[in-house]
Structures are given as C-alpha cells and as structure tokens.
Amino acid sequence: MRLRSKLTGILAVVMIFTFAFTFMHYTQAFAQNKKTTATKEKTQTAAKSDTILATFIEIGAAQCIPCKAMQPIMKEVAEEYKGQVKVVFYDVWTPQGKIDGMKYNIRVIPTQVFLDKDGKEYFRHEGYFPKEELVKVLKMQGVK
C-alpha cells in the first residue's frame, strides 16, 4: 500500500513537471512569435514593393535531403532574378520555423509557396521542385 502511494506521488510530480515544461515551451514560442511579427511585416512589405514581382518561400529543414537539394536552386533564383524575386527560407525544425509552417499550413517538406507583389499566395508546390518548373511559376507574375 505504501509503495502504491509513493508511486502515485512520483507520477503526479512527473505529470506536473511535464505540464509546466510544455506550458513554458509554448509560452516562449508565443513570445518569440510576437518578436518576429516585425520581421514578417518586412517580408510582406518587400513582397509589395514596386520592383519585387514575386516572393518565393521555401519551407523545409536544413537537414532534410530533398530540402538540401532545393538550396542551390534557391540560391540561383535569388541571384538570377535579383530585384524581381525575393527568396525566403523557413526551417520548420526551429521554434520560429514551426510557427511559419503552421502559418502556411505545411503538410510536407519541402513546400514552396509563391506570393504575388501584393503578398497574396498564387501558387504552392509540395516536394522537390525542379528549377525549370519553378521559373515557369515565377514568370506567371511577369518575372523576366
């Protein structure tokens, strides 16, 4: 009987610590989300500028194999279409990246989200996206 009481007490303490840790984690993520609101607004403002015709958002993870394969493509697009296309990468395996992944309702990684000059989503692709196909999507917004 005493053993059962001790085990019940230990289990209660473990559950309390688990709850407290989870609560602190989500509280920190929420606080960090407030801090990054300004950063997100800058991204949206950049997408709305006169010279930026499209924003290409790559949502993935730094250690994901298909996501790694997209990195050179992102770099090439950023260089070749500088001034016309803004390229953004969100790593969903980071606290802020998780929030961005939820914002864009990500189901799989990598996912590419394309925003027009007004910041509205006009195209989405899941998985590896070859550069030739990606450029076709950018050209839908007048990128040359």
**Is it true that domain 39-139 has CATH number 3.40.50.11540?**
no
pLDDT digits (tens), the chain, 144 positions: 676 666 565 644 444 444 444 444 444 544 454 444 445 545 554 444 458 999 999 999 999 999 999 999 999 999 999 999 999 999 999 999 999 999 999 999 999 999 999 999 999 999 999 999 999 999 999 999
Tell which residue, 79, 103, 75, has the closest CA to residue 89. Answer: 75
pLDDT tens string 51-93: 899 999 999 999 999 999 999 999 999 999 999 999 999 999 9
| pTM attached to this predicted model | 0.65
DSSP assignment of 62-98: TT-HHHHHHHHHHHHHHHHTTTTEEEEEEETTSHHHH
Alpha helices in the chain (DSSP H): 2-35, 37-48, 65-80, 95-103, 131-139
